Amino acid sequence: MQSTQKNIKNNNLLININKLNVFFNTPEGLSHVVKDVNFNVKKGTCLGVVGESGSGKTQTFFSITGLLAKNGYAEGEANFKNYNLITCDDEIRRSFLGKSIGFIFQDPMTSLTPHLKIGDQLAEIAIYHKKITKSQALQRAAEVMDVVKLPNNRDIINSYPHELSGGMKQRIMIAISLMCEPDLIIADEPTTALDVTTQAEILNIFNDLKNNLNIGLVLISHNIGVIAETSNDVLVMKNGQILENGNTHEVLTKPKNDYTKHLLSCIPPWIGN
Ligand SMILES: Nc1ncnc2c1ncn2[C@@H]1O[C@H](COP(=O)(O)OP(=O)(O)OP(=O)(O)O)[C@@H](O)[C@H]1O
Ligand SMILES: [Mg+2]
Ligand 1 mutation target, pool 55, 105, 110, 242, most atoms within 8 A of CB: 55
Q: Say yes or no to pLDDT of 267 above 90.
A: no
Please report the atom of ligand 1 found closest to the CA of residue 71.
1
> Residue 27 is which amino acid?
P
CB contact burial 42-59 (16+ within 10 A = b; e otherwise): bbbbbbbbbbeeebbbbb
Query: Does residue 51 line the site of ligand 1, with CB under 6 A?
Result: yes
Query: Does residue 69 line the site of ligand 1, with CB under 6 A?
Result: yes
- pLDDT one-digit tens code per residue, 52-99: 999 999 999 999 999 999 999 999 999 999 999 999 999 999 889 989
**pLDDT, averaged across the chain:** 90
Please say whether the beta carbons of 39 and 47 come within 8 A. yes
- pLDDT one-digit tens code per residue, 117-131: 999 999 999 999 888
- pLDDT one-digit tens code per residue, 150-162: 876 778 999 999 9
Q: What mean pLDDT do residues 6-35 have?
A: 89
